[in-house]
C-alpha cells in the first residue's frame, strides 16, 4: 500500500540561462527569459520588492475582472514571433508573449522534469504520458533521455508549437505521439485499450475546453481522471506527478486524493509546492502545489 507522507516538500527552481526571477513584491514579479525582461502579476508576492527601479521590455497588465484577461505593454523590441531558448542544453524551444500572460513554457517545472528523468533511470524502454502537455518542453525533456512519449493537449495550436519545438531540438524522429484530444477522454480510451505506462505527468488547468467543446472544471473532473490514470499504472510503473495552479486547493487535498486512488500500489505519495528562487536573495516565490506517487 502506497504510504502517504504528509511532510511538505518544496521543489525549487534555481536561476539558469533560460530563466531568472530577478525580483518580486507588491503583487508583481520581474523575470528574465533569455535576453528579455518582463513584469507580470503575481498574487503570492505579498512582500516588498528589493528594488523600486524595475526595467523591463514588457509588462502584462491584467484586466479589471477576475477572468484572467489583460494585455501586454511593450517598451522594448520584443519579437512578436518569439525568440529561441534552451533547457539543459538539450531541449530547444521558442519563448513568446501569449495573450494568457505566459511565455510559452513554465520555468518552475524544471525540478519536476529532472525528478521524472531520475525516476525512469534504469528502465529498459520507458514510456510516459504528458497530459495537458502545452508546448512540449516537458515532453521533450523526457524524450531527450530516451523515453517513449505520448503528448496530449486539446489545443491544436499548442500541439503545433510542441512539434515545432521538437524540430528545433532535432527530435522530429524521436518516438513521440502527438495527440490533439481531450485529456480525460483520451485517458479513458487508454484504460479500455489495456495500455500501461511507466510514468504520467498531469498539469491540468483550472478551466478549459476540449477540441469538441468538452468543458473541463478541475474540481469536478480531476478525481475521475486520476482514477483512470491509476488503471494504466501498475506495480512496475515509476511515477505519477500532478501539479495544480491558481486554485483554492491545498497540496494536502491532492495528496489525500492520490492516497485514495493508489492504495493498491506500493511506493509512496508526497506533496508540497513548486517555488522559484530569486536570483540575488534567498527568497522563494511559490507558484503551484503538487502531489506525486513514486516507487
List CB contacts of 135: < 8 A, sequence separation 6 or more. Answer: 93, 94, 104, 105, 158, 161, 162, 165
Has residue 259 got a pLDDT over 80? yes
**Among 149-158, 244-253, 281-290, whose mean pLDDT is lowest?**
244-253
> What is d(CA 82, CA 282) in angstroms, rounded to the nearest whole number?
31
Residue 219 — very low, low, confident or very high, per pLDDT cuts 50/70/90? confident
Interval 40-95: pLDDT, tens:
999 999 999 999 999 999 999 998 655 568 999 999 899 999 999 999 999 999 99
Residue 208 — very low, low, confident or very high, per pLDDT cuts 50/70/90? confident
Has residue 23 got a pLDDT over 60? yes
The pLDDT, as a whole number, for residue 3 is 96
Interval 272-295: pLDDT, tens:
999 999 998 989 999 999 999 999
Q: Are 209 and 216 in contact (CB under 8 A)?
A: yes
List CB contacts of 121: < 8 A, sequence separation 6 or more. Answer: none
CATH class (in words) of the domain with range 3-14+101-294:
alpha beta
> What is d(CA 83, CA 32) in angstroms, rounded to the nearest whole number?
13
Q: What is the pTM of this model?
A: 0.94
Has residue 185 got a pLDDT over 70? yes
Q: What is the mean pLDDT of residues 229-249?
A: 93
Question: Can you read off the three cell numbers belonging to residue 233?
Answer: 499504472
Q: How far is CA 212 from the centre of its chain?
A: 23
Distances (CA, A) of 287 to 43, 106, 273: 10, 10, 7
Residue 207 — very low, low, confident or very high, per pLDDT cuts 50/70/90? confident
Question: For the chain, which residues make up each domain, given as ranges?
Answer: 3-14+101-294
Cα-Cα-Cα-Cα dihedral sign, residues 167, 206, 13, 262: negative
Length of the chain: 295
Has residue 214 got a pLDDT over 90? no
The pLDDT, as a whole number, for residue 212 is 76
Has residue 128 got a pLDDT over 60? yes
Mean pLDDT, the chain, whole residue set? 94
Question: Can you read off the three cell numbers belonging to residue 248?
Answer: 483554492
Q: What is the mean pLDDT of residues 19-33?
A: 97
The pLDDT, as a whole number, for residue 65 is 57
Q: What is the mean pLDDT of residues 247-259?
A: 92
Has residue 98 got a pLDDT over 80? yes
The half-sphere exposure of 96 on its side-chain side, counting CA atoms within 13 A, is 14
Amino acid at each position: 500500500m502506497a504510504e502517504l507522507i504528509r511532510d511538505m516538500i518544496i521543489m525549487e527552481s534555481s536561476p539558469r540561462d533560460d530563466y531568472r526571477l530577478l525580483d518580486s513584491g507588491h503583487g508583481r514579479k520581474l523575470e528574465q527569459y533569455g535576453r528579455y525582461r518582463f513584469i507580470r502579476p503575481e498574487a503570492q508576492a505579498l512582500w516588498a520588492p528589493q528594488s523600486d527601479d524595475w526595467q523591463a521590455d514588457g509588462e502584462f497588465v491584467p484586466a479589471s475582472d477576475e477572468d484572467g484577461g489583460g494585455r501586454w505593454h511593450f517598451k522594448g523590441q520584443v519579437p512578436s514571433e518569439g525568440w529561441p531558448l534552451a533547457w539543459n542544453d538539450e531541449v530547444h524551444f521558442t519563448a513568446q508573449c501569449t495573450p494568457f500572460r505566459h511565455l510559452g513554457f513554465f520555468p518552475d517545472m524544471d525540478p519536476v522534469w529532472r525528478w521524472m528523468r531520475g525516476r525512469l533511470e534504469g528502465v529498459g524502454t520507458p514510456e510516459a504520458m504528458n497530459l495537458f502537455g502545452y508546448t512540449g518542453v516537458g515532453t521533450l525533456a523526457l524524450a531527450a533521455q530516451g523515453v517513449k512519449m505520448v503528448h496530449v493537449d486539446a489545443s491544436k495550436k499548442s500541439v503545433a508549437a510542441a512539434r515545432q519545438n521538437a524540430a528545433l531540438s532535432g527530435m522530429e524522429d524521436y518516438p513521440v505521439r502527438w495527440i490533439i484530444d481531450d485529456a480525460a477522454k483520451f485517458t479513458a480510451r487508454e484504460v479500455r485499450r489495456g495500455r500501461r505506462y511507466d510514468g504520467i505527468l498531469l498539469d491540468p488547468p483550472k478551466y478549459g475546453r476540449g477540441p469538441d467543446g468538452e468543458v473541463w472544471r478541475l474540481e469536478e473532473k480531476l478525481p475521475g481522471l486520476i482514477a483512470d490514470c491509476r488503471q494504466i499504472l501498475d506495480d512496475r510503473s515509476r511515477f505519477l506527478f500532478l501539479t495544480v495552479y491558481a486554485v483554492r486547493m491545498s497540496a494536502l487535498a491532492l495528496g489525500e486524493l492520490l492516497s485514495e486512488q493508489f492504495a493498491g500500489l506500493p511506493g509512496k505519495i508526497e506533496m508540497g509546492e513548486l517555488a522559484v528562487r530569486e536570483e540575488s536573495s534567498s527568497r522563494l516565490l511559490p507558484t503551484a502545489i503538487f502531489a506525486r506517487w513514486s516507487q
